[in-house]
Amino acid sequence: MVSRDYIIEKLKSLPEESLEEIADFIEFVGTKKRRKPETISESIEGGEAEPLSQVIGICEGPSDLAERHDKYIYGTR
Sequence-distant (6+) residues with CB within 8 A of 76 are 70
In the chain, which ranges are continuous DSSP H helix?
4-13, 16-34, 40-45, 69-74
User: DSSP character for 7?
Assistant: H
pLDDT at position 20: 92
pLDDT at position 10: 92
- pTM for the whole structure: 0.40
pLDDT at position 11: 92
Give every residue of the chain whose pLDDT is below 70, as ranges: 35-49, 77
pLDDT at position 43: 59
pLDDT at position 3: 94
